[in-house]
Amino acid sequence: MALRQQQELKQLQKLSPLQMQVIKLVELTSVELEDKIKQEVEDNPALDTIDSDYEHASDEAEGDGMPEEDNVSQEEIILGDYFSEDDVPDFRIRQSTSKGEPSYIEVSVSEETSLNESLLEQLRLHNFDSRNEIIAEYIIGNLDESGYLLCDLQSVADDLLFQQNLDVSVEELTQVLSIIQEMDPPGVGARELKECLLLQLKRMTPGPSVTLAMNVLENYFEEFSRKHYDKILRAMNISPDDLRGVIDLIVSLNPKPGNTMGDAMETAMANITPDFIVESYNGEVSMYLNNGNIPLLKINRDFSELLQGYAQNKKSMSADDKQAMMFMKQKVDSARWFIDAVKQRQNTLQRTMEAIVQIQYDFFLTEDETLLKPMILKDVAEKTGFDISTISRVSNSKYVQTNSGIYPLKYFFSEAMQNEAGEDISSREVKYILRESIESEDPSKPLTDEQLTKILNQKGYVIARRTTAKYREQLNIPVARLRKKI
């Protein structure tokens, strides 16, 4: 086969260092941006922060030898030269530095011990020899965030032999695991849900209800998980009241013991610092970035003056001086890029959130979930002029605080569907009705997906059964059989 050479003209788009920096900054939350700025200031002597309004004013009066745009005020970071009066939307834009308003909204995050750290601390209280300590540490390191050991013990033994050169039998691993399973939180170290629940029951004070619950889990776990209560009643010859007591006891157990270390979603939501603030008052919606704690940036004056001194004496400079000047110029350029990247990041977030508020204005005015309109990334991209990928990056891990609470930005995105009148409605509106219907159902006779579909159709929503099932699953609501209560 003969090899041939040929020329081919291709147009490749390469991102500049500034564009790459902007992309990375856009993905950060306000708290992460604050940390990033602190790190940049530590790493780059040419980059400095403005600690107060007084310092800012004195810098402007005296001048620092750099172009005016290098001193970036808070107002410039938020709006800069990107907006004219024509660009201001119908709703009001408020600065997070306005008088009488909190400049930064933050809920303090308490330092919590992770599950791994907690178990290792408890491990030190046991008199393990060095061999068993290595085994225990390895098992603890393989627990997932819920506290489960999902890999089988033979795999753990193989890994220990390969990684630690430690030949361990499954019996040894079982003994060490049983000790870990005695640690807190109860249920940790389980290999499946059944074992997790039984470990918790074994910690409880012995009694008829605990014994009965353990019997149900050990012998009728499959029937219990599928809510085939009639089979359990017949097989165990117990009363409905006895079974109801068992159900209440088992339901009170924690299926994910590892999550207690972080207190799951509620604690996480309570510790979120929102990136945007949207408020409604007297029929008017206000929106601003929650960036009052993000430091103001400028080029370090001493550094820039030293660089200018080098530049004015180029002819008499030694090789070392030239190398020092090149180093300083690189740092100044890097600082300028970073300042500009922060400005562009704030501008991108501002314009994206403005577009979202414009589209979902009725919701932000009333916070009525049924008023949410269908909205996809493309809708926001068209309003802002940004790429869909940019809108996706802004939407990820960002939160907005409203009068009634904090929402992830993704909450406002939903697909469109039509009602009987042919009008576009949000799938979120359908989910809201779906959840309401399930919450008001008879728990002894829960509604099937077919019945839920009929209810939605009667309310004017054109929807198929498979779509109802998909929305129910997205709401993390189990099928009718698993919602049944006796």
The full set of domain ranges for the chain reads: 16-45+78-105+273-296+327-413, 113-185, 188-253, 416-486
pLDDT at 268: 46
CB under 8 Å to 332, separation ≥6 — which residues? 46, 299, 303, 304, 307
pLDDT at 91: 46
Please check the confidence at residue 201 and state whether its pLDDT lies above 90: yes
pLDDT at 190: 94
Pair of tokens at residue 353:
């959130």
Encode 305-324 in three state secondary structure: HHHHHHHCCCCCCCHHHHHH
Please check the confidence at residue 316 and state whether its pLDDT lies above 60: yes
Sign of the CA dihedral running 199, 205, 206, 212:
negative
Kindly tell me the burial class for residue 355, based on how many C-beta atoms sit within 10 Å of its own C-beta (0-12, 13-18, 19 or more): buried
Using DSSP's 3-state secondary structure scheme, residue 357 falls into: helix
Pair of tokens at residue 147:
């506290």
Of the given ranges (77-91, 125-139, 272-286, 313-327), which has the lowest mean pLDDT? 77-91
Domain range 416-486, its CATH number among 3.40.50.10490, 2.40.30.260, 1.10.10.60, 1.50.40.10? 1.10.10.60
Using DSSP's 3-state secondary structure scheme, residue 280 falls into: strand
pLDDT at 81: 30
User: Closest Cα to residue 399, out of 409, 411, 413?
Assistant: 409
Pair of tokens at residue 470:
């998909």
pLDDT digits (tens, 9 = 90+) for 374-397: 888 999 999 999 999 899 889 888
Query: Averaged over 408-432, what is the pLDDT?
Result: 76
The count of C-alpha atoms lying within 13 angstroms of the C-alpha of 453, restricted to the half-sphere facing its C-beta, is 12
pLDDT digits (tens, 9 = 90+) for 252-299: 899 988 876 554 444 444 567 899 999 998 889 999 998 878 888 988
pLDDT at 84: 35
Q: What angle do CA 237, 243, 247 make, to 5 degrees?
A: 150
Query: Averaged over 142-155, what is the pLDDT?
Result: 89
Give 20's pLDDT tier (boundaries 50, 70, 90): confident
pLDDT at 109: 34
pLDDT at 333: 86
Please check the confidence at residue 236 and state whether its pLDDT lies above 90: yes
- Note whether 283 and 301 are within 8 A (CB): no
Query: Averaged over 187-211, what is the pLDDT?
Result: 92
H or E stretch including 406? strand 406-408
